[in-house]
Amino acid sequence: MTSPTETRIRRALTNCSKGEATRMVLPAWVRDLDPDRLDDVRGWRDPKAPDRGVLLVPTDDGPAGVVLRAATGATRAAAMCALCRTTHTVGGVALFAAPRRGAKGRQGDTVGTYICADLACAEHVRVETATAALKPAPGTTVDERRAGLRERAAEFVAAVTAEG
């Protein structure tokens, strides 16, 4: 049986069919989210399809989600996530592509960007100091990084869901 939260999260996935949204495996912690109080960008990889992920972004109209596909092969150098602007060591960032919503997506049109391979941008922006594997944007506070992540993720979702 699905919870009301799980149903809302699946309905928020804007760039996939209802069948795809239904078949996607949601992590247990997603069922505990309150979609009305979502204030951070959340992401996860589907354990049954590791090349597939979801990015859930808070908007004024409630959560908006996009289904992503990871490119095969890892980055061969340190790289920065375009959303949270955290620099990772080799393999910590992956190229993700999201099919556009509607007819364009069915024709193969996608929007892509480099994102944290684990889709855990919300956790990465909370890191206070750099580690060997993870370096947050220097000279910024956690609140500034969280706000920047929300803004850039919303822009990405807008590009995926744009009509015309």
pLDDT digits (tens, 9 = 90+) for 152-163: 999 999 999 997
Mean pLDDT along residues 101-130 = 92
* DSSP track, 16-79: S-HHHHHHSPPPHHHHT--GGG--S-EEEEETTEEEEEEEEEEETTEEEEEEEEEPSS--SS-E
**pLDDT tier at 4, thresholds 50, 70, 90:** confident
pTM value is: 0.90
Residue 1, pLDDT above cutoff 60 = no
The CA distance from 40 to 153, in Å, is 10
The CA distance from 36 to 78, in Å, is 36
pLDDT tens column, 40-99 = 999 999 988 989 999 999 998 889 999 999 998 767 788 999 999 999 998 899 999 999
The CA distance from 99 to 65, in Å, is 12
- How many angstroms separate the Cα of 49 from the Cα of each of 15, 20, 25, 76? 17, 12, 9, 23
